[in-house]
């Protein structure tokens, strides 16, 4: 590699790093907040579609999640993607649940899931 090529490579690397710094300053990532939300815990496809023939809402959601579908929490008209221990989430799938965790955008990183109190 000649001196000119080395200089060109260094300049491109520096330019790329500068673009990343500017992009992160212009578009700051939203802060992660702790949340405690109650809603329907289900699969992403179950939110808008009816269960297939021969499936109950629980069996269809369980099947879809085991096939790799995302788990979501529907609170009023807002849907959050839920990430955490799949086995724990499956215990509450297709049912009302209270999810505790860290909200990052529209994704909840789950720390706990419980049945909601009777009044909720």
Query: How far from 118 is each of 70, 74, 113, CA to CA, in Å?
Result: 27, 18, 15
Residue 7: per-residue pLDDT: 55
| CA atoms within 13 Å, Cβ hemisphere of 96 | 9
Average pLDDT for residues 47-73, to the nearest whole number? Answer: 86
| φ/ψ of residue 82, rounded to 5 | -115, 130
Residue 89: per-residue pLDDT: 94
Asked whether residue 25 carries a pLDDT value surpassing 60, the answer given is no
Q: How confident is the model at residue 118 (pLDDT cuts 50, 70, 90)?
A: confident
Q: What is the pTM of this model?
A: 0.70
């Amino acid at each position: 590699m000649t001196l000119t090529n080395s200089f060109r490579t260094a300049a491109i690397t520096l330019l790329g790093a500068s673009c990343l710094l500017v992009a992160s300053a212009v578009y700051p990532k939203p802060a992660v907040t702790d949340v405690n939300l109650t809603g329907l815990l289900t699969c992403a496809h179950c939110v808008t579609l009816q269960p297939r023939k021969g499936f109950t809402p629980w069996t269809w959601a369980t099947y879809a999640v085991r096939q790799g579908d995302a788990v979501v929490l529907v609170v009023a008209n807002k849907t959050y993607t839920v990430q955490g221990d799949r086995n724990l989430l499956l215990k509450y799938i297709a049912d009302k649940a209270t999810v505790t965790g860290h909200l990052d955008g529209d994704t909840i990183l789950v720390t706990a899931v419980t049945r909601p109190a009777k009044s909720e």
